[in-house]
Structure formats: C-alpha cells, structure tokens
Amino acid sequence: MNEETKKTISEKYERELQKGERFWPDSIFKDVVVSLGLFVLLLLLATFVGVHTPPKADPSDTSYIPRPEWYFLFLFKFLALYGQIPVLGKIEFIATVIIPGAAILVLTLLPFIEKSPYRHYGKRVLPISVMALFIVSMVTLTMIADIPTTSGTDGVYVAGIAQTIGGLVVPGLAFLGLFIMAFTLKQKAKKGMIWTTVIASVLMVVFTGLTLVYAPTVEAEAAEVPVTLPDQITAGQDLYSVHCVECHGDDGSVSVIEGVEGLEGEELTPINSRDVLYTITDSAMQEVIAYGRPTAGMNPFGKAYGGELTRSEIDYIVTFMRYAWDDRFEMPPVKPLYPALAEGEVPSYDVHIAPIVKRYCISCHRAGKENNNYLMGTYDEILHSGDNGPNVAAGDPESILLLTIQGTPILDDNGDELIGTMPPNKQLKADIIDVFLRWVMAGMPQTAEEAAALSTAPLPTPTP
C-alpha cells in the first residue's frame, strides 16, 4: 500500500470523525444498553432454564455417545461426514488438522491476503461470499449434528444422503466455483459469485430440511439424574432392591444367605451393622461394590469389572446405605414409594405397581435369574410372561401372584410346592398387598387415567 492511499484513507476517516459522535457519552451509552441487555438475558437463562446435569463421569461406560459443546458441533459433524468420503476420508488428519488449520490461517492472515484498500461490500464480493457460505455451512451442520451419519443397516438412508449432499458436496462445489470464477473471470465474476452463493445457500438449507424430515426418530433421553439428596437416596434404594436384596436382605441384616443358588449358607457380616458402617468409608464401600469380593462369593457390580452399575449408581447405593442404616446420619424426608390410596381408589400400574415391583420383585424377576421365566419389567410381562402364566388375571382373587404374596404357596398335583410364597424371605407389608389386591380386582389398569376412571365405584374392602 503506497503513501497516497494511506493518506486518502486517513483523510476520509477525519471527515467521518467530523460528522460523528463523542465516545462519551454517545458510544458508551449504546455499549451499556447492549451489555445490560445481555446481563438480563443471562439472569433469565440462569433462573428459568437452569443448567442441565448429565450423570457423573464414568470411564468404564464406553457406550456413552460423546457430544461437545454446541459451538463445536459443526466441526464434529464435518469430521463425521468427511469420514464418509472414500479413500481420502480415511486420512483423518486432513479433516482434523489441515482443513481447520488452513481456515484459521486464512482468517488470521486476512489483512495480508485481501490487500485491496476497498472496504465497501460491493467491492468485496469474493470474501463476503466465502464468509456467507462458511456461516451457512456452520449453521446447517450444527442443526444436523445429532442425526446419525449412517443408518447401520442396508438400504437407502435418505437422511444420510441428504446430509452428505447438503453438508459436504454443495458447500465444497460452491467454494470451488467461487475461487475459479474469481481467478478466471476477475472483475466480470461479481454476478456469478453472488448467484453461486445464494443458490448454494438455498440448496444447503433445503438439504438440511430434508435431513431433518427424514431423520430417524431418536429415542428420548434417559430419565433425569437425581440431584437432590432424597432423590439420590430413593434411586439408591431402588438399585439396592434390584441388585443387593437377594443376598443382603431388604434391610441389610442378613448374616446367613438363604435361597441363593451357589451361595446357600454362606455367612456374611450384616451390612447394616456398625461393624461395617463405622469402619468402612464411602469410597471403600464403593470399591467393594464395584470390584466385588471374589473370595467371599460377591460378584463385581461395577461396569468396569463386568457388572451392571455405573459409578453414579454405586454412589447412590452407598448414599442410601448411609442414610438408611448409619445412626450418625439423619434420614431426610423422602418421597413415599407410591402415593397413599384413598378409600375406593384404584391403583394404576404406572403410579403404584411399577415402583413397588421395582423395589420388591425385579431383583429376581428379570432375565438371567431363576424365576420360571416370570419377568416383571413391564406391564405386558407382568400380565403374560411366565412358565405357569398367566400369573395374574383381572378380577381373579385366586391369581398366582395374589396367592403367593399372601403367604399361600402353589402346589402341584402331587402336593409338592411348585411356587413358594413371594417374596421368598420376607412377606410384603399389608398395605402393599392391599395395593396389589385392589389393582388386580379392579382390572389392572395401566395408566393413572384408566385407574381414575375405575375409581368412581367404591370397592369392597379387601381382606389381607
């Protein structure tokens, strides 16, 4: 840039200053308005939207799908799409290093690359077109970031094709076209470049729309993480009921294991005793649950060691044990397992039966346990599964489930016990048996609405 141009620029700036404003108070006023507006926006976001909390980090849970902060999503998606390109896509560092690196280098050195002294947008069609295309790609890639790049099955996967075209082919060709035009046609290329940018942008938006329309529906995210102490204790108790009750009993007091194949008669220290609770720290307890105690017959439960529990889940179990049994801890008020029933009210599967089953039955009545194939994980399983099934029938007080939880074993033709009383070691409390009775007698409604519809007529009081 020669001295003359510099002088012209300086003079022009002086003239602009003449008809301009004062930094204080004119410019500062606008700055303050915008900053204050952003501050209010943040207050509103923090108050009414809050911060979503995923579960605690668990290095053993490799099935977790990583998702970066939203402003890196476009890069993430770009990498995924780039990986689809045959041959070139296998050279990972082109997409991870060379392309982003080149983009950053161009951005940094921009003042030295675009050396013309012109500032008006009409004289800068190429740079503005490139930037516009870049921003449209960023936005569209961000929008389709959560849609799988491949379907994993054979056949035409429309969302995959559409996103490859909209996210990679169109912008790639458009960038190429812009540069070819800029360097071959020089000044005459203006119109062509503008049209290329507009058409490419519209195409990208259209293909993004197609991708979103044809995207496979993704399952809803897992349930909310328990954050408050009572919620964590409840979560811990549910997990304890599933994984630990068989050997340790529902109050942790078992000292000789009964009725567990392979561990029959095994002696253990009651885990609700002071001997255990006072001498073992939280982290040691977590490790025992995670590693198990192979010498004493306890399986590892941590995911890292072949079990089923994540770190967070083990944490909840330990929290539950502390607050439930350790006399140095005071149990906070915890929500009841199910809402109490009024006279004549009919319980539903969703609200009442599911949490009860989860706490008292699932421990054995799930796949891989000895249970005559009677699984109780879902509404349908409770109604229909089992070798002796159906184990419950609407309105039948002689249903196997009702008899066994009321202390009546089922006998076969020879008078031998076919199904013992349930749960095997300890009878359910009367009010829980009452819930089951009311539910079966009223016709086993699944949802709360169905139950409410049945509740209008008061039922005869069941005999426990």
Q: What is the DSSP string of 364-394?
A: TSSTTSSSTT---SSHHHHHH-STT-----T
Q: How far is the CB of 20 from other proteins (least distance, A)?
A: 4
Q: How far is the CB of 151 from other proteins (least distance, A)?
A: 21
Judged by CB, which is closer to other proteins: 108, or 269?
108
Judged by CB, which is closer to other proteins: 68, or 339?
68
Q: How far is the CB of 64 from other proteins (least distance, A)?
A: 5
Judged by CB, which is closer to other proteins: 31, or 275?
31
Q: How many CA atoms lie within 13 A of 289 on its CB side?
A: 28
Rounded-to-integer distance, Cα 240 and Cα 271, Å: 12
Judged by CB, which is closer to other proteins: 41, or 452?
41
Q: How far is the CB of 25 from other proteins (least distance, A)?
A: 9
Instruction: With H, G, I as helix, E, B as strand and everything else as coil, classify residue 64.
Output: coil
For 12, residues 6+ apart whose C-beta sits below 8 A from its C-beta are none
Residue 430 has a CB neighbour count (10 Å cut-off) of: 9
Q: How far is the CB of 218 from other proteins (least distance, A)?
A: 16
Tell me 303's DSSP state: G
Judged by CB, which is closer to other proteins: 69, or 343?
69
Of 252, 238, 250, the C-alpha closest to 335 is: 238
Rounded-to-integer distance, Cα 357 and Cα 119, Å: 72
* Tokens found for residue 338: 């199910």
Rounded-to-integer distance, Cα 428 and Cα 191, Å: 81
Judged by CB, which is closer to other proteins: 26, or 264?
26
302 pairs with which residues across the strands? 309
User: Would you say 277 and 252 are in contact if contact means Cβ atoms under 8 Å apart?
Assistant: no
274-285 in b/e form (b: 16+ CB < 10 A) is: eebbeebeeeeb
Q: How far is the CB of 221 from other proteins (least distance, A)?
A: 11
Judged by CB, which is closer to other proteins: 63, or 414?
63
Tell me the one-letter amino acid at 129: S
Judged by CB, which is closer to other proteins: 24, or 413?
24
Residue 145 has a CB neighbour count (10 Å cut-off) of: 20
* Tokens found for residue 134: 């870049």
Q: How far is the CB of 380 from other proteins (least distance, A)?
A: 31
Judged by CB, which is closer to other proteins: 124, or 322?
124
Q: How far is the CB of 394 from other proteins (least distance, A)?
A: 42
Rounded-to-integer distance, Cα 300 and Cα 287, Å: 9
Q: How far is the CB of 143 from other proteins (least distance, A)?
A: 15
Of 51, 83, 49, 79, the C-alpha closest to 66 is: 79
Rounded-to-integer distance, Cα 145 and Cα 122, Å: 34
Rounded-to-integer distance, Cα 455 and Cα 353, Å: 16
Q: How far is the CB of 255 from other proteins (least distance, A)?
A: 32
Judged by CB, which is closer to other proteins: 127, or 377?
127
